[in-house]
């Protein structure tokens, strides 16, 4: 599944209380992808990567420094094929073609939650608002 360049993924919804961190990218990262802060990689739960997570607010080339938004920022993210439900915890998708996208998590644990979806969304058709952090 190709990354959808025309979405609002990675755009900040509300700047009040926003936190931005600088990371060094371990691989090419697209604006709007969920990133594992410790490794600087696109989040891949299937590879047993865990949080804390951030969301790239810019494209970052491998080896370069770039900025990611962290909790409590509200930001737009793309849902994976399984979609996401409003007011449900979300985590990075486990599907290889959907790296950096989000899906609902049924039994949330601190180390896999990206945040709480504030809108319902399906299969990357449109970016949804997500409150970053485990709440």
Residues 49-92 have pLDDT tens digits of 677 888 999 999 999 999 998 888 888 888 988 999 999 999 98
Calculate what percentage of the chain has a pLDDT beyond 90: 25
The tokens 């920022």 sit on which residue? Answer: 73
Question: pTM of the full predicted structure?
Answer: 0.80
Cβ neighbors of 72 (< 8 A, separation 6 or more) are 17, 19, 131, 132, 133
Which of these ranges, 5-19, 38-52, 84-98, has the smallest mean pLDDT? 5-19
* Contact assessment for residue 112 and residue 45, using Cβ atoms and an 8 Å cutoff: yes
Q: How far apart are the first and last CA of the chain?
A: 30
Q: What is the mean pLDDT of residues 11-38?
A: 84
């Amino acid at each position: 599944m190709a990354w959808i360049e025309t979405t609002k993924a990675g755009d900040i919804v509300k700047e009040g209380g926003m936190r931005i961190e600088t990371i060094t990218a371990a691989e090419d990262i697209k604006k709007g992808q969920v990133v594992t802060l410790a490794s600087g990689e696109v989040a891949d739960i299937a590879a047993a990567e865990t949080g804390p997570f951030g969301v790239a607010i810019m494209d970052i080339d491998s080896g370069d420094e770039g900025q990611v938004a962290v909790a409590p920022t509200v930001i737009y993210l793309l849902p994976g094929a399984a979609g996401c439900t409003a007011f449900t915890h979300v985590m990075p998708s486990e599907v290889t073609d959907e790296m950096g996208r989000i899906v609902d998590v049924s039994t949330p644990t601190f180390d896999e939650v990206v945040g709480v979806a504030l809108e319902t969304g399906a299969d990357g058709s449109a970016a949804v608002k997500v409150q970053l952090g485990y709440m």
